[in-house]
Structure 1
Amino acid sequence: MIPLSVPNLKGNEEKYVVDAIRSEWVSAAGNYVNRFENNIKKYLKVDNAIACQSGTAAIHLALKLSGVTPHSEVIVPTLTFIAAVNPVKYLGAEPVFMDCDDGLNLDCEKLEQFFKEECTLTKKGLINKTTNRCIKAVVVVHVFGNMAAIEEVKELTDKYNIKLIEDATEALGTCFIAGKYKGKFAGTIGDFGAYSFNGNKIITTGGGGALVGGSAKDIKMAKYLSTQAKDDELYYVHDNIGYNYRMSNLQAALGVAQLEKLEEFIEIKIKNYEAYKAKISNINGFSLLKFNDKARNNHWFYSLCIDNNEINRDELLQYLLKNQIQTRPIWKLIHTQKPYKNNQAYKIEKAIDYYNKVLNIPCSSNLKQESIGYIVRVLGNIKK
């Protein structure tokens, strides 16, 4: 079986993890946690970062620090992993679902239309006329590592005084190469940026995440909340409700080693994407989804588009599986899922189309060229 996306652990992972074990600092304290945070800050060129247990934890903290409260609202994409949305509910707030653009990212034009036509700007903030709730934040996901239209979204959130949270959990290393934010990384443009180091991400800590933000005060508060909100560590005084969200030293040791290889992984990902693209272009009925040409994208996942209506997505998935090729459909749209069926969804159109015609194909950074060739040959033989 050619797997969809698995870790590449060929660097200093074992060396650093063993060192952490020998130091006997294995939980949410130790040299590697601080080292990983410092390396993340250096790589992303930011001043403030904390390491968390997951990308979901980072998003939760970002929403809380953005002033999201019960009965308020957050604009979210419907085409994304559900972890980008669930933290809204953790805080007692409600999501409003937005459609995607042709890069699978949040549709900025519809977002602007929604603000203009469906909301009223008041002294209390931007009010959704349908629900009479205040919109506190927008969550933009850089889907599959593809840079979203974050320039345009930031103009809107600034205009309406709404917090912008970048879910960059799939986009570590994606950065602008042109435009207003040239040189800036995904996750460093909004008020907060969340990253994930789950087992299938471009680098992994087994499970883990990070939160970055422009305000040192905010990130200090995030760290405080992530360690059970201890106001006095000796006498266990807690003046606020906190969370057990701190990354462990063992996870961080793995992360330090993985981060050393990130640029190499991105280079391989881009090379493999281009190899796929060149070969698939010779097959009628298929294409690879393009990445944002204003950015050096990390190319985390590759999206195979089924352009031929005669080919059924699920039948193709099973066909590839029978040929020992693991694939995955994109996520079931969140506004159609049971916990969110009663939430407002604004003009969802493109997301439905892409949901029905996209499969993710093997994209690990240790994927061999022979495997790419085999996968493309299998695709070419589908009609036969």
Structure 2
Amino acid sequence: MATGQRTYLDHNATSPLRPEVAHVMARVLQLPGNASSVHAEGRAARAEIEAAREKVARLVGAKTKNVIFTSGGTEASNMVLSPSFRRLGQPGAVKLLIGATEHPCGLNGHRFAVEAAETIPVDASGILDLVWLKARLERAGNERVLVSVQLANNETGVLHPVAEAASLVHAHGGLIHTDAVQAAGKVPLDITALGVDVLTLSGHKLGGPKGVGAVVLASDQFEIAERLIRGGGQEKGHRAGTENVAAIAGFGAAAEIAQATLAEEALRLGALRDEAEAQVRRIASDAIVIAAGAERLPNTFAFAIPGLKAETALIAFDLEGIALSSGSACSSGKVKRSHVLDAMGVEPALGEGVLRVSLGWTTTKEDVVRFAEACEKVVATLYKRKASAA
């Protein structure tokens, strides 16, 4: 999306609010009632929540009753990654096995003791090591295990073999969660086909509002016994607090649009992504696309040009009117070393220069052209400065 001379290519951080979603939210913001009230105004607010719950459930192939709204993907993962997540009538897990390239909301936000959490390695392409996971589960014996694996990595776009991991985990008798925040609305998503017990979502990654997300259970035979937010009985007792009705309604609207346009958008964005990658390789023959040979989200690629630092390059692109990222946007605006690239074994000097391009519903061919023009200027300018300094 270009506003004036601006081109926004950071959809994995936040995808701009869709106009249709803004319209729904503006209407719902005018509703006066509390969704817990029994009068007509309260029932109107409740109806908006339940309609959104149905739309979010449909996006991931779940039953409506198994969708629990939260304040976002971080809270959703914090809720689920707990020893108290369990099948009804069964004890919870005593060990958490979590992918080494997971989002910080999982790696840093889980509720297991430090000594009870262990990371699952990935290969050089950033793909979960299933051989390691199988061996670790076999060593676990009767130890109850919860496994957490992203469906799609937020920095590289790499898609993990979640269904295969789920088969291994269930054969051992464990539980499995997938963080589907980046995958939802970009690739087909069905909780039953994946075989996971629970997945988590975030509204602002698919053109919905910030500040709303969801936990989606595979069935009503699962529970989170220890509530993260306690108080009233909202969300069937799973999550206390008066619901943000407008944000929830916006999330539902965004989910509905994303589902309706998924196949078309995947093809469109995949073609634009491939063109942007090709332009980078044309401009810099030594450019490296991270995980180029792996199955990735159609909207995402991360690249590095040896000798260019991400922090300097981001500023240069920004001055050219291009909004990119150096990875996750959850670090208070700081450009810092990526744990994802470290886990993949990317050479530190190269890792310091990795930039992420993530496309979305606003992205056009013109945006890719402007990105390529800016890339040529940035590379020429920064290499010239580097040569002068030498």
TM-score using structure 1 length: 0.72
Distance in 1 between residues matched to 2:293 and 2:249, nearest whole Å? 32
Name the aligned partner's letter for residue 111 of structure 1. Answer: L
Distance 1:298 1:34 in 2: 30
Deviation of 1:258 after TM superposition, in Å, equals 1.7
2:161 and 2:250 map into 1 onto residues whose CA distance is 32
Q: Is the 8 A contact 2:166 2:194 kept in 1?
A: no
Over residues 174-228 of structure 1, what are the superposed CA-to-partner deviations in whole Å (9 max), with x where a residue is unaligned? 546xxxxxx7369953111111123xx123232111111222132xx45995774
Match of 2:247 in 1: 251
Aligned length: 337
Matched, 1:285 2:274: no
CA distance in 1: counterparts of 2:213 and 2:194, whole angstroms: 15
- Partner of residue 42 from structure 1, selected from 49, 53, 58: 58
Alpha-carbon deviation of 1:25? Answer: 3.4
Tell me the distance in 1 between the aligned counterparts of 2:353 and 2:95.
31
Q: Sort the Cα spacing of 1:362 and 1:120 in 2 relative to 1 into closer, same or farther, 3 A.
A: closer
* Equivalent-residue separation in structure 2 for 1:39 and 1:203 (angstroms): 14
Contact 2:326 2:355 in 1 (8 A): yes
- Return the letter of the residue paired with 1:150: V
Unaligned runs of 5+ in 1: 126-134, 177-182, 335-344
Q: Which residue of 1 aligns with 2:388?
A: none
Q: Say whether the 8 Å CA contact 1:327–1:359 is kept in structure 2.
A: yes
Comparing 353-362 with 270-279, greater Cα deviation is found at 353-362
Q: Which amino acid aligns with 1:305?
A: F
Match of 1:97, SS state, is strand
In structure 2, do the counterparts of structure 1 residues 260 and 333 end up closer, same or farther at CA, with 3 Å as the change threshold? closer
User: Which of residues 7, 15, 28 in structure 1 aligns to 2:23?
Assistant: 15
Q: Distance in 2 between matches of 1:333 and 1:76?
A: 19
Which whole-Å CA distance do the structure 1 matches of 2:325 and 2:192 have between them? 24
Match among 193, 197, 209 for residue 203 of structure 2: 197
Deviations 1:70-123, CA, capped at 9 Å, x for gaps: 99331122323211223323777743123333553433233334445xx3413x
Shift in Å, 1:332? 11
Partner of 1:179: none
SS of the residue 1:303 aligns to: strand
Give CA deviations for 1:105-161 in whole Å, capped at 9, x if unaligned. 433233334445xx3413xx1xxxxxxxxx621110121354311132123212322
In the aligned structure 2, how far is the partner of 1:66 from the partner of 1:75? 14
Aligned residue for 1:132?
none
Paired position in structure 2 for 1:261: 257
CA distance in 1, matches of 2:127, 2:242: 29
Q: Which residue of 2 aligns with 1:338?
A: none
- The structure whose residues are more often helix, as a share, is 2
The residue that corresponds to 2:371 in the other structure is: 375
1:184 aligns with 2:190: yes
- Structure 2: state its 5+ residue gaps: 1-5, 37-44, 332-338, 385-390
For 1:40, give the aligned amino acid: V
* Amino acid paired to 1:143: N
Q: 1:304 aligns with which of 302, 305, 311?
A: 302
> Structure 2 counterpart of 1:107, which letter?
D
Task: Name the CA distance, whole Å, in 1 between partners of 2:166 and 2:55.
Answer: 27
Contact 1:11 1:257 in 2 (8 A): no
Report the CA distance shift for 1:291/1:27 in structure 2 as closer, same or farther (over 3 A): farther
Give the percent of matched residue pairs that are identical in Structure 1 and Structure 2: 12
- Give the secondary-structure state (helix, strand or coil) at the position aligned to 2:240: coil
The range that moved more, 50-59 or 348-357, is 348-357
TM-score (norm 2): 0.71
CA RMSD, Structure 1 to Structure 2 (Å): 3.9
Would you say 1:72 and 2:108 are equivalent positions?
no
Cα 1:19–1:256, aligned 2, differ >3 Å: closer, same or farther?
same
Q: Within 1, Cα distance between the matches of 2:27 and 2:293? A: 39
